[in-house]
Amino acid sequence: MSTKRRIISAVILWVLFLFLTLVFLLSNLSENKATSGETQIKSETHEEETDLEEVTHKVYFNITIGQRHAGRIVMGLFGKTVPKTAGEKGIGTSKKRLHYKYSTFHRVIRSFMIQGGDFTHGDGRGILSMANSGPDSNGSQFFITTVKTSWLDGHHVVFGKVISGMEAVLRIENEDTENDVPLRKVVISDSGELPL
């Protein structure tokens, strides 16, 4: 894949990641204000239904691990909450189509997250967030959490949620790693948008 396509793909993934992180953060802020000292109990099913009401786009990643199909991850993007991250339809400032096809999940930390979308360096439960190293440092990298990660609230833009395919996420999470790098190549073999 050419360098331009890799950069474009990275930018798309970055925007997607930013969008999901912001949505997650805004969702937590509104929940905290609503409870204001009261204990609010929600069923997990109700929370998932509420999350899905925010979905404006549905996208997918087909995953291969060591050149074998490992499943499809379908994600809902929160375009109304973070439109700059999730609403640009795969066209960046270059006006060229951007995608994550053939990019890798290059970082896997069990009981935390799987990270992908590093097109520039290659070394970088169900919430999609933008990976960053501090304020104003979001790029193309994103991560999908594999557990609840409340300690990240306010630090990463949430721009979506896994709708189906958590089993593929967990397959990636359970890959053997060395220094958080999967020993077998974990590739997004195809990606795209699905109808809502």
pLDDT digits (tens, 9 = 90+) for 21-78: 655 555 555 444 433 333 222 333 334 454 678 899 999 999 999 999 999 999 999 9
Task: Indicate the SS3 state at residue 128.
Answer: strand
Specify the pLDDT at position 133.
74
Please confirm, yes or no, whether 110 is among the known catalytic residues: no
Please confirm, yes or no, whether 24 is among the known catalytic residues: no
For the entire predicted model, the pTM comes to: 0.67
Residue 23 CA to residue 27 CA, distance in Å, equals 6
Beta bridge partners of 145: 113
Low-confidence ranges of the chain (pLDDT < 50): 30-48, 50, 123-124
Residue 121 CA to residue 8 CA, distance in Å, equals 14
Q: In terms of Cα–Cα distance, which of 45, 50, 43, 44 is closest to 27?
A: 50
Please confirm, yes or no, whether 138 is among the known catalytic residues: no
Q: What is the largest distance, in Å, between two alpha-carbon atoms of the chain?
A: 54
* CATH hierarchy code of domain 3-194: 2.40.100.10
Please confirm, yes or no, whether 62 is among the known catalytic residues: no
Catalytic residue among 107, 119, 128, 141: 107
Name the DSSP class of 131.
-
185, HSE (Cβ side, Cα atoms, 13 Å): 10
Q: How many residues in total does the chain contain?
A: 196
Catalytic residue among 62, 77, 78, 115: 115
**Residue 131 backbone zone (phi > 0: left; psi -120 to 50: alpha; other: beta):** beta
Percent of the chain with pLDDT over 70: 63
Please confirm, yes or no, whether 115 is among the known catalytic residues: yes
Specify the pLDDT at position 155.
79
Please confirm, yes or no, whether 61 is among the known catalytic residues: no
Please confirm, yes or no, whether 107 is among the known catalytic residues: yes
